A and B are shown apart, each in its own frame.
Chain A
């Protein structure tokens, strides 16, 4: 049996820091895309023509019914087989973005529908068209109302981003594995990785709370 020795972590800190950096880049980019795509999907499902609505609903249903890992493999390995080569980072971002966009779309749909009809009537009576009413009045309120739910999705996204280690992206978990393969000290490095996720989560939660606090003013 080996005792715990965390000093070894310091020697590998540059590697872990790099992993931390990739996790931040990957999660932030995917979070932004997943929110934007989520709003887009929600609007298309609610207001698109049947030609757009049904394919998107099918797509959402398919994505909800399969694991993120499988989606990642399909995008990275599957597409490459038919000649669409996407670099690992790109594939990771696409998989994470789409996977969470589908859930966000569900949340935003409910959020949009929950905005009072009077809001649309007031905007239309001022002379706003359909699209501008959505853009200036309805969607901003829907996004505000769904902040807590979308916030939890973003925390899930941050954690699930570890899955891209499976296609060789050197994010936190992958970096820890590299360090472990050289030092044979899984406990120290996995614990350190866990701490790094906790820190990221704390920052994310603080950010979300700040945004929610600002929104609270307008309630």
Chain B
């Protein structure tokens, strides 16, 4: 096999809440530096899929691999806790509702994980926070508290917070869905910049235009399965499946 090992590899992912099957056996992989957009109607399971990559959701069956390491391996309680904390440090996650820590300054929001988990000293942690803030264009907010920031600024800080752990991949769970329309662009811009730096990304989104612009491949999900997968061009301009066509038509007319 001369294929390069994928950065993220999901095999046969299944998950049900009681009788409701949210993921019905999903396979997909993301190569190093690749950007995948996951689209689909609400309740299609796309967020659950994303959250199962860093084990915020536990799969009923199937495997998740990160850079050759099995994420959801069966280990006894404490050993698994150690393992999963280690794995999660290598994956940045950005949430729809930002989830910044309101009791910490912007600086500490970004610095707390490197400081507490990697033992980075105070001075270096602040320097790291500043570097990350410069990346997202918010260096002047370093001593502000999250409550004083706009939604777009909060999300950029959240991205900086995730980047500060120097993750191998970034997971975006509808990162712009909770934002006022005029604030979406500033967040998208940061994500595009990450893309240009060849960060491996999985982006769950409702924004077709952004998905088309930034993604290498697009996954269309519905009812817990991947209906269709392809390049943005293939999927958006010549979708093969009827289900995809209906979804896109509804979306464009909306």
Contact = CB atoms under 8 A, between A and B. Distances in A.
B62 interface: no
Given A128-B85, A218-B102, A219-B102, A136 B97 contact: no
A53 to B, nearest CB: 18
Contacts of B102: 141, 218-219
A197 to B, nearest CB: 33
A116 interface: yes
A144 B101 CA distance: 13
Contacts of B100: 122
A132 B146 CA distance: 21
Interface stretch (B21-29, B110-118, B218-226, B231-239): B110-118
Q: Name B's interface SS.
A: mixed
Contact of A128 (B103, B117, B147): B117
B91 A125 contact: yes
Contacts of A217: 145
Interface magnitude class on chain A: 20 to 34
B168 interface: no
B165 A122 contact: no
A141 B101 CA distance: 9
A140 interface: yes
What's the interface size class on B, roughly? 20 to 34
B205 interface: no
Given A126-B89, A128-B116, A121 B162 contact: no
A129 interface: yes
Interface centre among A119, A124, A125, A132 (most CB of B within 10 A): A125
Interface string A126-138: 1111101000110
Contact of B56 (A124, A137, A140, A218): A124
B88 interface: yes
Interface of B: 54, 56, 81-82, 85-86, 88-89, 91-93, 95, 97, 99-105, 112-113, 116-117, 145-147, 158, 161-162, 165
Interface of A: 116, 118-119, 121-130, 132, 136-137, 140-141, 144, 215, 217-219
